[in-house]
Every structure is written in structure tokens, then in C-alpha cells.
Amino acid sequence: MSANDWWRGAVIYQIYPRSFQDDDGDGLGDLRGITRRLGHVADLGVDAIWLSPFFPSPMADMGYDIADHCGVDPAFGTIEDFDALVAEAHRLGLKVTIDQVYPHTSDAHRWFDESRADTANPKADWYVWADPKPDGSMPNNWQSVFGGPAWAWEPARRQYYMHNFLPSQPQMNLHNPEVQEALLETTRFWLERGVDGFRMDSVNYQFHDAKLTDNPPIGDGKPEMGPENTYGYQAHLYDKSRPENLVFLKRFRSMLDRYGAVAVGEVGDGARSLETMAAYTTGKRLHMAYSFELLGPTFTAAHFRKAMGAFDAVAGGEGWPAWAFSNHDVPRHLTRWAEHSDDPDRLAKLCAMLLLSFKGSICLYQGEELGLPEAALDYAELTDPVGLKFWPENKGRDGARTPMPWAAAAQHAGFSGAGETWLPVKAPHAEMAVDTQDGVPGSVLEFYREMLAFRKGAPALRSGGIAFVDAGGDVLGFWRGAGADRRLCLFNLGATDQSVSMEETLALVGPRVGEVALDGGGVTLGALSGGILEVA
């Protein structure tokens, strides 16, 4: 691969700045703290970091409501702190990617202040505004991802504005070329500061149907949200994933190419997610995309095979996926899939081997390498608007966002010296801190390091193709291949032993989980076991 293709098969480590390391003692993580802890990330063997938002924001949605695209919120530090972080990451051999949020801003953004004032100002058309119906009701039936109508009333303009998420996150009007240019300029600001790439938040929400056509009911389709949320009752044909986005993404890609930068898009599109991922990563648009396909409750061989196979089928070999099991928006996977094993460490290792064998680029979420489960929080401890609104049916995202535990015996497990932290460090997490696993043979942390090193040294796993094996039962099997390097990846996700017969005589290579026995071309896998093999 060329130097500009570093992203193809790369492993990207997501850092949630609020929760990684607090160095100024206010109970909230900051950029200096991240810089100090980058050695841990580099020692894992990943290729890049992804920083969740650190921009100025009222923090109604924890930074995804941006009030200034070209700055650093004082809670996280200064622009000089950011520059120092980039320099240290590059010194350690890590690429730096950061979040970009194009679909909406905060209602505290200066652009929205101007736009909302009246219908004649220079930015009057920078957001999605619409007149009420004759009876004063909302312009159409669109619903917000966070529940309820996707429209809020602005008395000064006597119009509604659209918000796909919180009412304090007004939707930008990317049909307006001036808006496109303004957003591209904010991205260029970070490119000039040495950023290597971007994670595009809610990338398929960037355009809406200009005619404001009502969405049809979901009918027999699969809802995108739980029954507690009105968003799940519609087929979202007109409020997202619009064809205009494909045109704009080519313009966006052209700018990235001039800097040698890359982009991965977050695609939330229900049953259409894999098709949208494919469309967005072909035709010189995004480099990679991921969906919530593997971020749900299903842990079966059939599900993983279907997701990877379906993407390859629709992408035609050109598109490139980015797979993840956990992130800041969903419960941690060791809790989602806990029912499949009474040995959490074994499940954590099997998931690591599984994910790091997939074709595509890989996103790891901070703490995943420690085997952290979802933190159990009380309602009084929540900050996430999702949990606050939908508790207890949906406990929100705070359980996946609690601080990183570094030292088991230290205050707040070494995350902060403050009296209180923005979210608590629970005892089960402190007991799994980095210092309890670092250098300990058999720990989850050491297994991640071993598996990451193995992936990096195996062209077949990093950039090779994939061909599935009809292994049957609960076994997921596939060949990964790049030139002369071919590896057979076998995983038994079930609760009983499984056997697989192959024509080739095989030998185990690299890490393994559980019991894997060979007899010529026969492989017997114990329950929740996995191994990587090559032709002997």
C-alpha cells in the first residue's frame, strides 16, 4: 500500500475526551491528559486515534452541539494544547482523526443567532426553516432521533426550524452552497493544523428533502429505535440519506485528497445501512463508513457473516467498511453479549480476535482493551439527554462514557484528582484498571496487544480479501488472503464443541482463544473458542 493508503485495514482507537484523563483537576478529561496518556495507545499497536468532540459547546449533547467549529472548549484546554497533542501523536507514529459534525450546530452558534433573527439577513437560509401549516401546526410529520417532532418554533421569524436531534441542535441547510463552503472551510482549518482525517458524524443526515415530503409509516419494516421513541414509527425516506449527499461527498473527498487526509462516516440508516455505507464509500466519496450493524444485541455467526457478506455484495469490491463492536453511543459489547458466556475475560478475548480478523478498518473504543463492561449508573448520575428522557426503557449512553480506569488503588482509578468527576468511576471498572493488567500474562490488555501485533504483521488480515467457509452450526469461518499470505479464521460462538472439516492440512498461527485442536484438515473448536490457521 502507498503511504496515503494507511487507513485501509487500519485500527483506529476512539478517545472520548471527557473521560480519558483529567490533568487540570476539574473532574473532566482534557487534551493535556490525552497527550500524557498517548503512550498507552501507541503501545497497544493501533494506527490512529479518533477524538470525539472537544469544540466550544453548551454540551447539551456532550459536544455534538458545536458552537464554534474552529476552536477548543476551555473545559478541554486551548488550541495550543491541541497542537501539542497532534505533535505527540505523530511522534509516536499515530495518525489523528477528529469528529466533524456537518448536519447541525448548537443553537448557541453565531451562525444560528444571525439566521434566527429574521427572514432577510445574510444567513437567513443557512438552516432549515419552514412556515407553519395554515392551522399553525408543524410543516410535516418528521420526527427527531431523540424523540418527538423534528421541528421547533422560532417566534422572531414566525417559522419552525428543523432539528434531527435535540431542539438545541438546529439542522443546517446544505442545499445552500454558502453553507457547504462554510463547513468545508472549518474542516480545512483542522487540515492546516495537521489533522490526518475525520469521523463524519451522522453523515447521511446532511441533506433533507427540499419539498419537506412526509415520511411514510414503517409498516412491516424494522424500526430504527425502540418502541419508546416515536422516531421508530417512520420509514425515513425524506429526512436523511438523500441523493444530494452523494454529490456533496465527492466535493468533500476532493478537498481531502488535496491534503492526503481520510474520512470515515457514521451511517445510521436502519435496514438500509449497508447499502448506504456502500454508496458512500464508492465513487470517490468517503474512504470508509460504519453503521450500527454490529453495535446491537445479536451475537451469532450468521449475523456477522450476513453483515460482512452483504456489504461486500453491494459495494462490489470498491467500498471499504469500518467495523466496531463498541463506541460512545451504545452499551459496551461485553454487556450486550454477556449472556453468551460466564467468563467475561474469555468473551473479551474472543471478541478482540473476531473483530481484528474482519475485512475492513477497525474502530476500538477506549477501555475495550481492558474488557470493560457497561457501567451501572443510577438515574441521579445521568447526564445524557437520551437516558434522562427514556429511562428506564433506554438508560442512555452514559454507561459507556464513564472515565477510563488507569490505577486501581488511586482516587477515581487515576482518572482525576478532583473531588467528583463528571461521571463516576464504578468499583468493577477500577478493579480492571490498566495497572492491574499491564504486563500480566493472560490479561485482556495483553491479549489485545498480542492480537494487534499479529494483525499488523499479517497482510492477509490487514488488507486481504475475504471468502466465507460453510462451517455450519455456530461457527463463523472465513479465509483472508493477500497475495501469498492466506489465513483461515475460525470462531465457535456457540456453547458446545464444534468440528470443521477442511481439505487442506492446517497449522495454528498466532493468538488463539479457548480450545482449538487439529487433526489433519479437521479442526475442533471448544465453546467460545477461536483460532487463526494457515496451510501447513
The total of other beta-carbon atoms located within 10 Å of residue 181's CB is 10
Domains of the chain, CATH where assigned? 3-103+177-207+242-454 (3.20.20.80), 465-535 (2.60.40.1180)
Check: CB of residue 133 under 8 Å from CB of residue 376: no
Q: CA end-to-end span of the chain, whole Å?
A: 27
Q: Which of 384, 235, 397, 222 lies closest to 293 in space, CA to CA?
A: 222
pLDDT at 358: 98
**Cα separation of 185 and 252, whole Å?**
11
Check: CB of residue 145 under 8 Å from CB of residue 111: no
- Residue 11 is which amino acid? V
What's the gap between Cα 152 and its chain centre?
A: 28
Q: Which of 236, 290, 244 lies closest to 265 in space, CA to CA?
A: 290
**Cα separation of 246 and 198, whole Å?**
17
Q: Which of 342, 346, 335 lies closest to 299 in space, CA to CA?
A: 335
CB-based contacts of 111, cutoff 8 Å, min separation 6: 105, 123, 126, 127, 182
Check: CB of residue 349 under 8 Å from CB of residue 356: no
Length of the chain: 536
Partnered with residue 99 across adjacent β-strands are: 199
**Cα separation of 364 and 119, whole Å?**
45
| pLDDT, tens digit only, all 536 positions of the chain | 566 899 999 999 999 999 999 999 999 999 999 999 999 999 999 999 999 999 999 999 999 999 999 999 999 999 999 999 999 999 999 999 999 999 999 999 999 999 999 999 999 999 999 999 999 999 999 999 999 999 999 999 999 999 999 999 999 999 999 999 999 999 999 999 999 999 999 999 999 999 999 999 998 888 888 889 999 999 999 999 999 999 999 999 999 999 999 999 999 999 999 999 999 999 999 999 999 999 999 999 999 999 999 999 999 889 999 999 999 999 999 999 999 999 999 999 999 999 999 999 999 999 999 999 999 999 999 999 999 999 999 999 999 999 999 999 999 999 999 999 999 999 999 999 999 999 999 999 999 999 999 999 999 999 999 999 999 889 999 999 988 889 999 999 999 999 999 988 999 999 999 999 999 879 999 999 999 999 98
Q: Hey, which residues are catalytic here?
A: 201, 266
Residue whose C-alpha cell is 499491564: 438
Check: CB of residue 234 under 8 Å from CB of residue 218: yes
Check: CB of residue 432 under 8 Å from CB of residue 402: no
Per-residue CA distances from 100 to 52, 67, 183, 289, 317 (Å): 9, 13, 9, 14, 27
Q: Which of 279, 60, 297, 98 lies closest to 190 in space, CA to CA?
A: 98
Per-residue CA distances from 424 to 20, 79, 383, 427 (Å): 13, 28, 11, 9
pLDDT at 2: 62
CB-based contacts of 172, cutoff 8 Å, min separation 6: 102, 103, 104, 105, 126, 127, 128, 179, 183, 206
pLDDT at 254: 97
The total of other beta-carbon atoms located within 10 Å of residue 532's CB is 25
pTM of the complete model: 0.97
Check: CB of residue 407 under 8 Å from CB of residue 433: yes
Residue whose C-alpha cell is 433573527: 117
Q: Which helix (H) or strand (E) holds 279?
A: helix 273-280
